[in-house]
Chain A
Amino acid sequence: MVVFKMAKINLNNIYKSFDDVKVIKNISIDIKDGEFMSFLGPSGCGKTTMLRMLAGFEMPTQGDIYIGDNLVSSVENNIFIPPEKRNISMVFQNYAVWPHMNVYDNVAYPLKIQKYNKKAIRKNVQKALHLVQMSDLEKRYPNQLSGGQQQRVALARALILEPDVMLLDEPLSNLDAKLREEMRFEIKEIHNKLNLTIIYVTHDQTEAMAMSDRIMLLDKGIIQQIGKPNDIYEKPENKFVADFIGLVNFLEAKYIKETNENNDIIRIYDGMRNYDITCDKDIMENQEITLVVRPENIKLLSPEEAKITSYISKKVYLGNIIDYRIKINDKVVRIETSSDVQYEVGDQVGIKLTRYAFLNN
């Protein structure tokens, strides 16, 4: 048994193909000890394949994987440590609770494999079940448990050996919305309490935002962006990232370098007139740029107060917010306001961008 003192993880230049189909294309990432890292992306982006390579269920076509200071997978050095010897634990999307064992036996299984004595097994299982609030159900069989309860059992089983690294593969996606939110907090709490390194695979961006220290956003086997949740939300590095995380408006604009001024200018054209917004100097290379504006970062004003004007084309009342649509240069722009900002369809309005990011075209 290899024992890892440090639970940092390094993936270096990983490639993976299945029968000539390249699913992972040159991914490198360093995950810090104790970090909560999410692999986020649409289905088929390669996030689960990344996790399975880390666990040892798939072998990379190229590249090295380090867990702690140990090289666990390297095609060049012909090293491949099987999953049972990587000292990591994993929680699966469909719970993977063994139907022929009761709750107690499921959770005790890793300890039995490690040949713990009966007394130690009992003590540890009780501790783990207490941690996931399943203490009174240890005699139950999986078919007598709800989905949420089964996932708690899977969690307890993953935690029983006090691993340094825990991998979670879309663990909440089979649960209903309310339970999902509850479990989200519990997993986060376990992370804080036990200080382990967690890698969390999900396609749900709110889940990733709510839990992660950092997010790796993948598409088509390529890293789109790695960063803290607020960086990814506020400073997306490309259109895919901006579009995948939350709602977004893209506005075509021109970036104009002003030689004599303290500021440069971003110019939006609404079909009839130009609207200029001042910005810091020398932030962009290109002239053609795209403004990235979240719906909640557009303020509705009276037409006199604002530079850009249009009229309301659609209004949807959603309780806590109102979802308005206006048109700028034939392009539909989505705006979310609090429900006390009242306009009607057809009203002339002015808009102000309170926060935005921009991308080179």
Chain B
Amino acid sequence: MNFEKKTKWLVLGGATLLLLLIVGFPLLLIILKSFIFEGELSLQHYINAFVSKRNIVAFSNTLQVGIGTTIFSVILGSSLAWLVVRTDLPHKNIFRTLFIIPYMIPPFVGAIAWSLLLSPRNGYFNKFIQLLPGINESIFNVNSMFGLIWVMTLYFFPFVFIITSGALERMDPTLEEVAYASGAGTFKVMKDITLPLMAPSIMGGALLAFVASIANFGIPALIGMPARLHVLTTMIYSHIYSGGFDGIKRSLSLSSVLMITSISALLFNYFYLKKKAFTIIAGKSMRPNLVKLRKWKTPFFILAIFVVAITVLAPSISIFITSLLKGWGVDFSLQNLTLDNYIYVLFEYDLTQKAMKNSFFFAFSSATIAMILGSFIAYIIVNYDNKFSKFLEIISTIPYTIPGTVVAVAMILAWSGNYVLNLYNTFWIIIVAYVARYISFSVRTTSSSLKQIHHSLIDASRISGANWLTTLKNIIIPLIKPGLIAGWFLIFMPTLRELTMSILLWGPKTVTIGVAVFELQEAGYFQISAALASLLLIVVLIGNFLVRLLSKGKLGI
């Protein structure tokens, strides 16, 4: 082999090995370890897990939260999708963007906002309602199953909304026109044609909402835990926090259960729904028939504004106002407002300063590493069409499809000194976890850009005398550059606000923004955590806006 070929194999082989090491190995380990009890192959971990009453309650709570959230998300998401795509609702394009905003807000920030609004003690909304005659106590208690499902629905309904509105848009309008021509009225067409055709897409969105809600940590931790309402993710968290390595052992089987539940939901989606959905929906954009709302126009318009107020405005305002308060529980009069909390968070408090510095560093490094590694994996996937490249593709997708809590437990198992490397309590374990979880973003954006390069563009460079490396540098990389930049932001943004994995992996020197917000909230420093959360919210929303601008609306988080 000549030098150039050697470099090519070294680079691609190295990338493959690294992927297997940081993704494949920890995941394999967590599955294997859950079946090994005191050195022998057994189901003892699972038996122990389901003997504990607390675990059973947590599992049942997880299912309740998941199913409840899914049902409400489907109702809210699909009716809003229909409203903005298929009716003449005024300003529907603006609503379409506004309805997606909850998707960008970090769920734990939403949880904090709703705690502030509906806390049984001092919740803004509860206090406001007591101004009405005849009400003398708090009506709503966010720290309940109702609260959990409420907040999760507000942040996960966009999954159903995005998928359903996309499918509604691509649906062949002639399918409905034929029904109208056969004499069916608007309502009948919706019931007999539109809804059955949309069912697979709605189901697809529902499954995503289900998986997201059972995998979520921030909302149940901030809303459920204060009322001792545990789900699987918070249970794993408290096991690991309570008992060192023993706690990790106890969390193993719970992690497996969590992983199996979400993977089965996604496999069902992949094998069953995909086939159904694609046969009836055309690929290109169509101009759909618009249903005229007539006298219902105003009520629906008010309803849409109400949804925006509940999902976006109320929580943002409650957080911003809290961040400006001099003390918790004081009135909103002008002399009680101050910017001191921001000054404290930004310039004085070493915990928040460290958290911000760390988070930017972690997000920057993991986005960069994930893009480099993922690009080579994408190159293999696009250029070598065989079973091994298919395997690499699946491996790279798994960490994002399973709950972050499970990924974090896998990282602890693999990198806390039992196997050569001890990364525990270092910033490396966080970066490795971020890279593993978000590598699929990089693989996906890069491989879709690579697929758009016609092979003759590369052949033309070779025939011009350039070898593989020169071609990579002069032709391939410049052509996929927009995709690389967009992919980088797609990883940078969610890692900047990451909580679920960080909370299990952080150490004294590696606190992140998410962890700091969480810990400050837990400790009761509401104004300070609100100030930090507000800053995070602003950065995330601006970042999203930039990504959409850069990718001309094609990408967003």
Contact = CB atoms under 8 A, between A and B. Distances in A.
A313 B459 CA distance: 53
A161 B465 contact: yes
B464 A98 contact: no
Contacts of B461: 98, 109
Given A96-B454, A99-B479, A113 B464 contact: yes
A157 B459 CA distance: 13
A157 B460 CA distance: 9
B79 interface: no
B462 A84 contact: yes
Interface residues of B, number: 17
Contacts of A100: 478-479
A114 interface: yes
Nearest to A90: B463
Nearest to B461: A109
Contacts of B550: none
A89 B456 contact: no
A89 B466 CA distance: 12
Given A99-B479, A100-B478, A92 B459 contact: yes
A94 interface: yes
B470 interface: yes
B464 A157 contact: yes
B394 interface: no
A99 B457 CA distance: 9
Nearest to B454: A94
Interface in B412-466: 454, 456-457, 459-466
A346 interface: no
A88 B459 CA distance: 12
B5 to A, nearest CB: 9
Given A84-B465, A96-B454, A157-B464, A113 B459 contact: no
Contact of B463 (A88, A94, A114): A88
Nearest to B474: A109
Contacts of A96: 454, 456-457, 459-460
Given A92-B456, A96-B456, A99-B479, A110 B462 contact: no
B460 A90 contact: yes
B346 interface: no
B462 A92 contact: no
B281 interface: no
Given A90-B460, A157-B460, A98 B475 contact: yes
Contacts of B460: 90, 92, 96, 98, 154, 157
B174 interface: no
B60 interface: no
B383 interface: no
Given A93-B456, A96-B456, A57 B464 contact: no
B136 interface: no
* Candidate in A56, A96, A154, A161 with the most chain B CB atoms within 10 angstroms: A96
Interface string B453-497: 010110111111111001000110011000000000000000000
A96 B454 CA distance: 8
Contacts of B470: 113
Nearest to B459: A57
Given A99-B479, A109-B474, A83 B463 contact: yes
A157 B475 CA distance: 15
B467 A84 contact: yes
A275 B464 CA distance: 61
Contact of B466 (A90, A92, A99, A113): A113
A158 to B, nearest CB: 8
B162 to A, nearest CB: 31
A200 B479 CA distance: 29
Interface string A84-126: 1100111011101011100000000110011000000000000
A268 B475 CA distance: 63
Given A83-B459, A90-B460, A96-B459, 12 more contacts: A57-B459, A57-B462, A83-B463, A84-B464, A84-B466, A85-B465, A90-B459, A92-B459, A93-B456, A98-B457, A100-B478, A109-B474
16 contacts: A82-B467, A83-B459, A83-B462, A84-B464, A85-B465, A89-B463, A93-B456, A94-B456, A98-B460, A100-B479, A109-B461, A109-B464, A110-B464, A110-B465, A113-B464, A161-B465
Interface of A: 55-57, 82-85, 88-90, 92-94, 96, 98-100, 109-110, 113-114, 154, 157, 161
Q: Which 6 A-B pairs have the closest CB atoms?
A: A96-B456, A110-B464, A96-B460, A92-B456, A113-B465, A83-B462
